[in-house]
Structure 1
Amino acid sequence: MEKNKPKYNQIIEAAVEVIAENGFNASQVAKIANKAGVADGTIYLYFKNKEDILISVFKEKMGEFIKEIASSIQYEDNAEAKLYTLISMHFHQLAEDHHLAVVTQLELRQSNIKLRQEINQILKPYLTVIDDIIKEGIEENIFRDNLNIPLVRQMIFGTLDEIVTNWVMQDQRYELISQSSDVHAFITSGLSVNH
């Protein structure tokens, strides 16, 4: 089934909303179909089951997310500026879409191992973007050359992820994007050659 059909996108958008509002377990396929304005059976033309919908939501949204970040950072002069763009865009993209933030930060944290493995696969290109920034910073002599790249990448992604999760848990009562500068300063001071 072609994935570029409008109905596929309608279902993805509806799923983000329904899952954010009801939680994954309480989000019946019928509710998603109703929100998307399609018959229940139509969903099964595009998705195997509810888990497949959740994975597809993450794949579609994360794909857009990574593409936008990758295309924006290419215009930056150095690794430090690229890292700032990545941080601010990470926060901005989730702050702009309340439902998506709830789904990515809360509903995707399922204990289902198979689901988690699929999510990790989808995240790989994003983690590669972070790796490339770290390597570039080392080559530019901005970041220390003795960095454990996988560990630094985990720390960067884990920091951003936890900050967004905390913001979602606090009912988004404060400005997420305004934290970009502090987070960037904190991370770069730990990576810096001059530290």
Structure 2
Amino acid sequence: MKRDKPKYKQIIDAAVVVIAENGYHQAQVSKIAKQAGVADGTIYLYFKNKEDILISVFREKMGMFVGKIEEVIAGNRTAAEKLLVMIENHCKILSEDHHLAIVTQLELRQSNKDIRLKINEVLKGYLLVIDKILTEGIEAGEFTSDLDIRLARQMIFGTIDEMLTNWVMNEQKYDLSSQVPAIHKLLLNGCGFRN
């Protein structure tokens, strides 16, 4: 499988940097190859085209992200705690990788419909984690029993996403983690949290 090949991760990481610094449309495959330290032709052993690179970047990073979230929320935490840990980790991962933050919050938005559909497919794993937290919260009586999971998921994802986009647009001038408690409280209230 191509994902196990040694240069795959190298190219993915290089693509994040090149796309963040140049924008998706100006990020030529040759620039990605140079950043990765590979020949231009090597890229095509792993990816069909630049669009495939962008989708793969998102798939890899989101897969890693979802895996990390599932790992840290496993165990006997309450749904409210899991939601907090999820928000903290989302912010931590992007605040530690500014290039990735630019790619996920800005560059992925400018893409064509085909790319957006593929990105939505990748996002499903993350949205399922939110659904699971909400379902557990309802079952445990933490959240109101008539909570609309679909709407609550959109509220949670949309709020976190907008907070991160705003942070990127403001050139990461403030501490993202300082926003987490207020966001958490807001989202808990929106879910009808009963403490």
- Which letter does structure 1 place at the counterpart of 2:25? N
Q: Report percent identity of matched pairs.
A: 58
TM-score, structure 1 normalization: 0.97
- Which letter does structure 2 place at the counterpart of 1:145? S
Is the Cα–Cα contact under 8 Å of residues 76 and 82 in structure 1 kept in the other structure?
no
Q: Name the counterpart of 1:133.
A: 133
Q: Name the counterpart of 1:149.
A: 149
Tell me whether 1:49 sits opposite 2:39 in the alignment: no
Shift >6 Å, 4+ stretches: none
In structure 2, distance between residues paired with 1:85 and 1:52: 31
- Which letter does structure 2 place at the counterpart of 1:106? L
Is the Cα–Cα contact under 8 Å of residues 130 and 153 in structure 1 kept in the other structure?
yes
- CA change 1:102–1:193 in 2 (3 A) is closer
In structure 1, distance between residues paired with 2:2 and 2:190: 46
Q: Secondary structure at the match of 1:45?
A: helix
Displacement of 1:189 after TM fit? 1.5
TM-score, structure 2 normalization: 0.97
Q: Name the counterpart of 2:110.
A: 110
Report matched runs for 1:176-195 at 5 Å.
176-194=176-194
- Which letter does structure 2 place at the counterpart of 1:185? K
- CA-atom RMSD, angstroms? 1.2
Displacement of 1:111 after TM fit? 4.0
Q: Name the counterpart of 2:170.
A: 170
Displacement of 1:84 after TM fit? 0.4
Q: Name the counterpart of 1:84.
A: 84
Is the Cα–Cα contact under 8 Å of residues 91 and 164 in structure 2 kept in the other structure?
yes
Count of aligned pairs between the two proteins: 195
Is the Cα–Cα contact under 8 Å of residues 147 and 192 in structure 2 kept in the other structure?
no
- CA change 1:41–1:111 in 2 (3 A) is closer
In structure 2, distance between residues paired with 1:76 and 1:102: 34
